[in-house]
Every structure is written in structure tokens, then in C-alpha cells.
């Protein structure tokens, strides 16, 4: 009898869990309907304009963390920011996903600003400061560990763990800004005389406010010589 009761209890728990999952999923559908209705009520032509295309002036490269959505953080509307997100807002020169987004944003959309946006308390950065194994993501976190290696002389002097993570968050964003500036995509745009700036931001989740790290760049002169890409020469054939 006890086994039967236990089985019934497990079934009840499973049903409740399934119902919760269904309710959670359905809330997304309901939320979409409410969003559409509110938008149309405020601006009947909103979706008509949205469907015609996009012309954002900003590319946002941010963290995948669910608490830092680009439009909400900046108070902007759909169509105003082109967005790419990954774990710990990384700009890795072998990441074809990021490079494809960057190329499209710079050369097709002609954005004027690229913002690398990190956030304090980033779980990816915190994980990179340990020697634990997490799985496939370890290969991704290696890039953050390399940032730590570059700045270990400073970071090793910080005894408070939270402060150390947050400082590495800042240094990581700074290094990702440099990584973007080293790409041929960005430098070719500069060589062509295009208006393009790369910036580094930190979002403070405790206040919602953005901190500009003051590492913005609109030219390659601050990079080492070997990172400065020569201007492409067009060879005419006859």
C-alpha cells in the first residue's frame, strides 16, 4: 500500500511539474499577445514600420545573461540596436558567429558604434577564475583565463573575491574592445574613412546603470604595429 501511495505522490509531483512547465511556456505566448496589443494601441503603425526593415546605428555585443537585454538596458526600441550575445561577451578572432555578425553590422548595416557590454557578477568570468571543469564551455572560458594571465599582476593583489571578479569583468571588456579593433573588418572600415567607434561598457545589475570604461577607439594607432592592418590595395588587371 505504501508503494502505491508513493507512486501516486510521484505522479502528482510529475503532473504539477508538467503543469508548471506548460504554464511557463504559455505565459510567453500570452505575453506576446499582450505586447502586440499594447504596441498597436500606443502606435497603430508600429509593426508596419518594423516590417519595412532595420537601420540600427549600434551593434551590441553582450553577455547571454537573461538580466541584461540590450533594448531594455538602453531604453531603445526594436530596430535601433543590432545584437549579438554570448557567454561573457567575448570577441574571439576565431569565432565565425561573432565575426559574421560584426561584418554584417559594419559593412551592410553601416553601424556607427560597436559596444562590448559586460556586467558585474558575470558567472562566466567567475567560473574562469577557478580550475573547475564545467564541460564544453571550458574551451570558451579559456579565453577569459588568458585575460587573467595578461593582468594577473593586478588581479592577484585583490583579496576580496567579488572585487576580483568584477575587476576581471572590466579587464575582459577592455580586452574584447581591443580584439574588435584588431579585426580587418573594423580596420578596413577605418581605412575607408568610415565613422565607426568601438566602446566598452559595464552594467551594474544592482543599480541598472551603465559604466563607460573610457576605452573607446575610432582608429588603430593605439594598437601595436603588428596589429595594424595595411590598407587593401586594389590591383587592376587588363
Binding-site annotation, residues for Zn(2+): 63, 65, 119, 122
Q: How far is CA 80 from the centre of its chain?
A: 16
Whether residue 18 lies in the annotated active site: no
Whether residue 119 lies in the annotated active site: yes
β-bridge mates for residue 212, sequence order:
201
Please identify which of the residues 65, 91, 113, 167 carries the catalytic annotation: 65
| H or E segment to which residue 201 belongs | strand 197-203
Q: Are 203 and 117 in contact (CB under 8 A)?
A: yes
Whether residue 67 lies in the annotated active site: yes
Sheet of 197-203, strands arranged across: 81-86, 58-63, 113-119, 197-203, 210-212
Q: CA angle 222-218-179, nearest 5°? A: 60
- HSE, CB side, 13 Å, CA atoms: give it for residue 182: 15
Please identify which of the residues 84, 91, 113, 119 carries the catalytic annotation: 119
Please identify which of the residues 84, 113, 122, 181 carries the catalytic annotation: 122
Whether residue 181 lies in the annotated active site: no
Please identify which of the residues 18, 67, 142, 222 carries the catalytic annotation: 67
**What burial class does residue 237 get, using C-beta atoms within 10 Å of its C-beta: 0-12 exposed, 13-18 middle, 19+ buried?**
exposed
Q: Beta strand pairing status for 197-203 and 210-212?
A: antiparallel
Would you list which residues are annotated within the binding site? Answer: 63, 65, 119, 122
Mind telling me the catalytic residues? Answer: 63, 65, 67, 119, 122
Amino acid at each position: 500500500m505504501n508503494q502505491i501511495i508513493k507512486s501516486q505522490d510521484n505522479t502528482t509531483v510529475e503532473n504539477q511539474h508538467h503543469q508548471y512547465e506548460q504554464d511557463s511556456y504559455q505565459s510567453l505566448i500570452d505575453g506576446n499577445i499582450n505586447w502586440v496589443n499594447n504596441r498597436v494601441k500606443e502606435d497603430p503603425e508600429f509593426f508596419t514600420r518594423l516590417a519595412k526593415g532595420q537601420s540600427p546605428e549600434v551593434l551590441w555585443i553582450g553577455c547571454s545573461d537573461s538580466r541584461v537585454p540590450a533594448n531594455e538596458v538602453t531604453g531603445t526600441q526594436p530596430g535601433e540596436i543590432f545584437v549579438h550575445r554570448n557567454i561573457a561577451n567575448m570577441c574571439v578572432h576565431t569565432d565565425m558567429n561573432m565575426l559574421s555578425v560584426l561584418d554584417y553590422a559594419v559593412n551592410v548595416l553601416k553601424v556607427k558604434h560597436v559596444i562590448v557590454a559586460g556586467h558585474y557578477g558575470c558567472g562566466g568570468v567567475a567560473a574562469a577564475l577557478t580550475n573547475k571543469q564545467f564541460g564544453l564551455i571550458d574551451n570558451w572560458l579559456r579565453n577569459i583565463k588568458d585575460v587573467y594571465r595578461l593582468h594577473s599582476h593586478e588581479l592577484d593583489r585583490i583579496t576580496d573575491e567579488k572585487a576580483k571578479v568584477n575587476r576581471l569583468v572590466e579587464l575582459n571588456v577592455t580586452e574584447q574592445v581591443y580584439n574588435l579593433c584588431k579585426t580587418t573588418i573594423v580596420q578596413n572600415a577605418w581605412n575607408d574613412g568610415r565613422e565607426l567607434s568601438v566602446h566598452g561598457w559595464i552594467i551594474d545589475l544592482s543599480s541598472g546603470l551603465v559604466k563607460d570604461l573610457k576605452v573607446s577607439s575610432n582608429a588603430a594607432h593605439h594598437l601595436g604595429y603588428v596589429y595594424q592592418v595595411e590598407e587593401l590595395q586594389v590591383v587592376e588587371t587588363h
